Amino acid sequence: MVRLKQIEEFLGSEPIAMAGVSRNPKKFGYAAFKELKDKGLNIIPVNPFADEIYGTKVYPDIKTLPADVKGLIIMTKKDQTPGIIREAKEKGIRQIWVQQMADSKDAIRELENSDINYITKECILMYYKPNSIHKFHRALKKIFGRYPK
């Protein structure tokens, strides 16, 4: 179970990269990136098929990210997530958030027994300056005792 301290540590680890940022404004990977950026998160997009997304320089992979990147949000397809985690480990990234629907047993195995602070089965939008539906979901989690402590 994820602890609130882990989430706070992750959110304090800027700059944070996001793997799986979509070029398509109708996809969640684009919408999440845009929302986090608009809210002020120092976030860096990773997508091998784009040079710029939402006015921000895009990096093609984890290896080419700036050295000061401390955190990584993963929004890739499940089969890509374990490889992204391995690249992040090689890069020295120790804060990893695997967004819901991007996790898999193989991905979790890559993270277990490591020195990485990792978060799974949670939505980043519910914890970083939530608004609208995410604020409502956060309130429901608190009411029903499912909010991290």
pTM of the model: 0.93
Whether the per-residue pLDDT at 82 is higher than 90: the answer is: yes
For residue 107, what pLDDT is reported? 94
Q: Which CATH architecture does the domain made up of 4-143 adopt? A: 3-Layer(aba) Sandwich (3.40)
Task: Kindly indicate the confidence band of residue 12, based on its pLDDT and cuts at 50, 70 and 90.
Answer: very high
Whether the per-residue pLDDT at 130 is higher than 90: the answer is: no
Instruction: Return the domain boundaries, the chain.
Output: 4-143
Higher local confidence (pLDDT), 111 or 138: 111
Average pLDDT for the chain: 93
DSSP letters, the chain, are: ---HHHHHHHHTS-SEEEET--S-TTSHHHHHHHHHHHTT--EEEE-TT-SEETTEE-BSSSTTS-TT--EEEE-S-TTTHHHHHHHHHHHT--EEEE-TTS--HHHHHHHTTSS-EEEESS-GGGTSS--HHHHHHHHHHHHTT-S--
Q: If you average pLDDT over residues 42-69, what whole number do you get?
A: 97
